[in-house]
Structure 1
Amino acid sequence: MFVFSRPAEATRQSLALARKHYENFPVASLLLPKRLRHAVAVIYRIAREADDIADEGHASQQERLQALQRYEDELRLVQAYIQPEQPLFISLQQVVRDHHIEVQPLLDLISAFKQDVVKTRYATFAEVLNYCQRSANPVGRLMLQLYQHDSTQHRKWADQICTALQLINFYQDVAIDLQKHGETGRIYLCADEMQQAGISEQDLRNQRCDTVWQAFFMQNVQRAEQLLLAGKPLGHHLPGRIGLELRMIVAGGERILYKLKRCRGDIYRRRPTLTKLDWPVILLKALCKQ
């Protein structure tokens, strides 16, 4: 964990960290206004480090939960306008005061990371959506607050986009998630839908890729696409940099969806990712506002 007290150092370290991770968080974007870079960097660092606590290293389940609880305790101090102990959260408290943002979205993120430590299976799509509401949607809501474009309709569209991007990430990472949590592995596909389709957990481990799996996979991809398209109007309603930023994020999601469709479920050997060749396509789509 980094320790810093100066805003410039916080921003520099966070931007460097962000560029090492594939994220839908626009912390490393050149479009981000200078006045928001420190705020976004601090928020990103908290989210990134808490996510790593849940996912990385060899700590026990109890150690991970205790570490995440310390983050939650610090956030609740910030929320109560009591000075926290760690420099990172002292920086956050200043961000909250300067930009009038809510702490609850960050608490929701911590809740999702705690869930990742203890929950590895999802019975229904409603359970998956509940997880996305806490693991992905808070990012969009925080950005709306920072840009001062927070409204009921904007939140609805942002939630749809963020949930869709989270689902897309799940479908990219079926094989990777199976390797987490030791022998158990994580599966974000719905158990009831898998059973109805005739697909078992062992099929995932065996990297099944027949027509049954392809049909099931494409149904999931199409559902994510419908959500992304439902939230897409937000990019046309937000002005200037934030509008372009969001249209690029949506276009990036659409590009991954295109690749998921092309691989037809063979994400074990051909995991779709964005490459340098994709960015001109993404930029063109964002600039054309379509």
Structure 2
Amino acid sequence: MSVEHYENFPVASRLMPPALREPVAAIYWFARNADDIADEGDAAPEARLAALELCRAQLRVIERGGVPDDPIHARLARAVRAWSLPLPLFHDLLDAFAQDVVKTRYANDTELRDYCRRSADPIGRLLLCLYKVDDAESLAQSDAICSALQLINHWQDVAIDIDKNADGLPPGRIYIPLDTMARFGVTEAHLRDARCDDAFRAMMKHLVDDARALMRSGMPLARRLPGRLGWELRLVVQGGLRILQRIEQVDYDVFRRRPKLGRTDWPLIALKALTYR
């Protein structure tokens, strides 16, 4: 899995072929920088959006064949040109980060999945591009894995997200679709008051089951890809599934303790990845 703030990115590990570590790092730092602009610090929404628009302007410089004037985007420009990385995927990421600044509620699963399409799926597609994998089946399965990872991150961070504020918007950030909350009788007060009752547990079970099913729909890609890429992807998949198990082990009470991976999880994840069929 990934580190620190940008949790859906499999940071270039020792499993990554040496030739790919530089472009992967360039993609990571672009995404990490933009994500931090959207989420970190106490800047006003207008300032965050303006800073993200400057990132978009740097992408346009790359599109025109120019050299961006900051190190992060200059590094990205070299990777884009050397590996023919599709720039629309980077624009999608910026769209998602900008959306995080101005949108704190999702009406339904369609809205949420569209957000995942832009916030998570581009990362998988960029990595496949580095490995020159571009068939439709692989792209669809990569999208399923990446969206599942994004959803898993949301469900483990319910308590963290509700504390995030944005000026002029409803307090807190809620990624759980509002129609899903209504269907299970869960209100925003449940989240603000850290109320893990039967209704909340039933809703979380539904969300965990859906995320697991989505992850499993993408798992054939991890079985099919050879070598280091397949091994890395199997670790990512098993890590995501393990977090879902952690959510279940705390009886869906993500308020008292954030379900996350620890040292004792990694041997089991590695074993499952190794024996993955």
TM (norm. structure 1) is 0.91
Answer yes or no: is the 8 Å Cα contact 1:78–1:84 preserved in 2: yes
**Aligned ranges for residues 209-228 of structure 1 at < 5 Å?**
209-228=196-215
CA contact (8 A) 1:61 1:118 kept: yes
Tell me: higher relative CO, structure 1 or 2? Use CA pairs within 8 A at least 6 residues apart: 2
Q: Secondary structure at the match of 1:207?
A: coil
Tell me if the contact between 2:7 and 2:153 (Cα under 8 Å) persists in the aligned partners: no
Out of 258, 264, 270, the residue aligned to residue 257 of structure 2 is 270
Matching residue within 72, 94, 106 for 2:56:
72
Alignment of 1:15-94 (within 5 A): 19-21=3-5, 23-94=7-78
Which runs of 5 or more structure 1 residues have no equivalent in the other structure?
1-17
Q: 1:160 aligns with which of 137, 140, 144?
A: 144
Unaligned runs of 5+ in 2: none
Which amino acid is 1:86 matched to?
D
Given that 1:25 and 1:139 are in contact with CA atoms closer than 8 Å, whether structure 2 keeps it comes out as: yes
Instruction: List per-residue Cα deviations over 1:253-283 (Å, max 9, x = no partner).
Output: 1101111112222001121100011111111
> How far is 1:30 from its partner?
1.1
| Aligned mates of 1:282, 1:30 — CA distance in 2 | 16
Q: Distance in 2 between matches of 1:150 and 1:240?
A: 17
> Equivalent pairs: percent with the same residue?
48
Deviations 1:42-81 (A, max 9, x none): 1100100100000000101100000000001101221232
> 1:21: Cα distance to partner?
4.7
C-alpha distance in 2 between matches for 1:177 and 1:195: 19
1:9-33 per-residue CA deviation (whole Å, 9 max, x = no partner) reads xxxxxxxxx7555733222411011
The one-letter code matched in structure 1 to 2:64 is: A
Aligned-residue CA RMSD (Å): 1.4
Is the CA contact 1:149–1:238 (under 8 Å) kept in the aligned structure 2?
no
Alignment of 1:244-283 (within 5 A): 244-283=231-270
Report the more deviating stretch, 139-148 or 173-182.
173-182
The question of whether the paired residues in 2 share the 8 Å contact of 1:19 and 1:28 is answered with: no
In the alignment, which residue of structure 2 is the partner of 1:13? none
| d(CA) in 2 for partners of 1:64, 1:166 | 22
Aligned length: 273
Residue type of the partner of 2:26?
A: V
Asked if the contact 1:26/1:32 (under 8 Å) is kept, the reply is: no
Secondary structure at the residue paired with 1:250? helix
